[in-house]
A = this chain, B = another copy of it.
Amino acid sequence: MKNVDMREPTFMVLAALANGRKHGYALIGEAGELSNGRVKLKVGTLYAALDRLQSQGLVASAGEEVIDGRLRRYYELTDSGAMLLEDEVSRLEGNIRQAKARLRLRAAAGRVS
C-alpha cells in the first residue's frame, strides 16, 4: 500500500463521482454540496485533478452529450478509483477515531472549553 495523501479538492472529485457519472462543471456544484458550501472547486483545480486521476486510472471518461448546444463531457469513477476512495475513507476514519479519543482525554483532564 502506497502513500495516498489526498487533498480535499481531490477527495471531493472522487466522492462526487462515487454515485454516478457527472460532467466536469457539475462537479463544482457537487463539491459545494458535499461540503456544505465549504469547498468551492476552482476550474483549474478541477480539470487538473481530472487529468491526473484519469492518468492514474481512478477516473475514466464516460461519454459526451450536447445539451442545449453545449458540450458535456462525462466522467465516472473506475472500480479502482472506488476502491481507493474506500481505502482513503477507512484510513481517515481510523485517524479521526484516534484523534477524538485523545481529544476526549484532554477535555477530561483539563476541563475548560
A interface list, Cβ under 8 A from B: 1, 3, 5, 7-8, 11-12, 14-16, 18-20, 34-36, 38, 77, 79, 82, 85-86, 89, 91-96, 98-103, 105-106, 109, 112
Task: Give every chain B residue within 8 A of A98 (Cβ-Cβ).
Answer: 15, 34-35
Minimal beta-carbon separation of A33 from chain B (angstroms):
8
Q: Which residue of chain B has the shortest Cβ distance to A93 in the bound complex?
A: B96
Task: Give every chain B residue within 8 A of A105 (Cβ-Cβ).
Answer: 18-20
Q: Which residue of chain B has the shortest Cβ distance to A8 in the bound complex?
A: B5
Instruction: Say whether A38 contacts B7, CB under 8 Å.
Output: no
Instruction: Say whether B89 contacts A20, CB under 8 Å.
Output: no
Task: Give every chain B residue within 8 A of A11 (Cβ-Cβ).
Answer: 95, 99
The prevalent SS among residues of A at the interface is: helix
Instruction: Say whether B106 contacts A18, CB under 8 Å.
Output: yes
